[in-house]
Amino acid sequence: MIEKKYPVWLDVDTGVDDAAALLVASRLTQLDIRGISAVAGNVELEHTFANTRNVCALAGLHVPVYRGADKPLLRPLCTAAHVHGFDGLGGVVLPESDALVETLPAWDALYAEAVRQRGELQLIATGPLTNLAIAFSKYPDLPGLLKRILIMGGSSKEGNDTPAAEFNIYVDPHAAQAVFKCGAPLVMCGLDVTMQAMLLPDEIEAIGRSGRIGRFFRDSTKKALAFHQANGTPGMCLHDVCPVLYLTHPHLFQGQEAGVYVETQGTVTLGKTVTDLWSDFQFPAKNAFVVLDVDRSAFASLIRDLLTAG
Ligand code: RIB
Ligand code: CA
C-alpha cells in the first residue's frame, strides 16, 4: 500500500524543543516537508535561522530554510535564553550547514508553496506567530489555501512566561490574534497537553546513547531539563513535538473544539488565550481544536523509536 504523504511547512524559533520537532519530523515518512521558516522567539533570528539550518543538516533534511521576522509585530522581542541558552541550542555547537542560503522572505516562500499545494499544505508553527501574521497580511487569500494550521502555543489555564500567557503567544499576541481569527482549521497544542508531553531523564539518556542524533538531543536539552526540574516538572517537556505528532499520530491525543480569543489589551493578562472550554458562556464560533491530553508513554516511546532508528 502506498503511504499517504502530507505536504507540510514548519515555522520554528529553533530552540531546543523546536530542534527536537525538526529531528522527529525528519524521521516521519508520512511528512513531505516542503519548506521551513525561522522566526525570532526563543533567541534572536540570527540564531534561530542558523540553528534551523544546522539542525536540518544534522538530520540530513534537505529542505529550504527561510528567514522570517526578527521581531514581533508591535512589541519588543523577549527571548527565552534562560531556558534554551544564549545560542538557542543549550550551548551545543553544531557543524555549520553548507546548504544554499535562501534570500526569499519566509512569508513569500510560504505563500508560493501554499499556492503550489492547492489547498493541501498543512502549516506547523512552534514559535511566535509573527511570520504567519505577516504572510496573512500580505496575502489575504493564504488562510483559504491552507488545509490546516497546527500550533504549539497558548493554554486554557495557566501560562508559563507569565501567570496568564504561554511564551509563543506572549511574545507576539497581535500576531497570534490574527492566526486565531484567520478562519483556517486550527489545532492548538497548548500547555494543557505539552506540559504532559515530557521525556523522563532515563528516557533521554537511552536516546543519548544511540548515536549522533540522540547525543545532540540529549546534550542540547540538558539546560532546559534542569529548568523544568527546578520548576517541579520531572522531565523535558517537548512542547514543539506535539503539533508534529498530532498530525501523524492523532490517536495519541485527546481534545475538543472551542472558541479561543487572544488578549491583546491586558497588562497582567496580555497574551492569554481565553477559551470557552470551562465557562457557561460560549463564544459564537468554535475556531480551534484544543488538544488537552496525550498518552505520555506512547508519545515517549514513539520519539525514542524515531530518534534512535539508524
Ligand atoms: O512555551 C513553550 C514554547 O516556547 C515552545 O515553543 C518553546 O520552544 C518556546 O518557543
Ligand atoms: Ca518553539
Q: pLDDT, tens digit, for every residue of 75-95?
A: 999 999 999 999 999 999 999
Q: Check whether 97 has a pLDDT greater than 80.
A: yes
Evaluate whether 225 touches 236 at the Cβ level (below 8 Å): yes
- Tens-digit pLDDT profile for residues 234-264: 999 999 999 999 999 999 999 999 999 999 9
167 Cβ closer than 6 Å to some ligand 1 atom: yes
Give the pLDDT score at 252: 98
Give the pLDDT score at 2: 78
Atom in ligand 1 nearest the alpha carbon of residue 80: 9
Nearest CA to ligand 1 atom 10: 127
15 Cβ closer than 6 Å to some ligand 1 atom: yes
- Best residue among 43, 152, 158, 191 to mutate for probing ligand 1's pocket (most ligand atoms within 8 Å of CB) is 152
Confidence of residue 204 (pLDDT cuts 50, 70, 90): very high
Give the pLDDT score at 81: 96
CA dihedral (85, 18, 133, 79) in degrees, to 10, reads -10
Average per-residue pLDDT for the chain: 98
Q: Check whether 310 has a pLDDT greater than 80.
A: no
Q: Which of 82, 174, 239, 251 is catalytic?
A: 239
| Sign of torsion over alpha carbons 77, 239, 233, 209 | negative
Q: Check whether 128 has a pLDDT greater than 90.
A: yes
Give the pLDDT score at 1: 77
Give the pLDDT score at 4: 81
168 Cβ closer than 6 Å to some ligand 1 atom: yes
152 Cβ closer than 6 Å to some ligand 1 atom: yes
Roughly how many angstroms between the first and final C-alpha of the chain, as a whole number? 23
Instruction: Give percent of the chain with pLDDT exceeding 90.
Output: 98
Residue with cell 501523524: 248
- Best residue among 22, 151, 228, 239 to mutate for probing ligand 1's pocket (most ligand atoms within 8 Å of CB) is 239
Which residues fall within 8 angstroms of residue 73, CB to CB, at 6 or more apart? 130, 133, 134, 172, 174, 175
Beta strands in 108-165 (DSSP E): 121-125, 146-152
- Tens-digit pLDDT profile for residues 8-54: 999 999 999 999 999 999 999 999 999 999 999 999 999 999 999 99
Give the pLDDT score at 121: 98
Average pLDDT over residues 109-115: 98
Is 239 annotated in the active site? yes
Average pLDDT over residues 226-233: 96
Evaluate whether 255 touches 193 at the Cβ level (below 8 Å): yes
172 Cβ closer than 6 Å to some ligand 1 atom: no
Average pLDDT over residues 118-131: 99
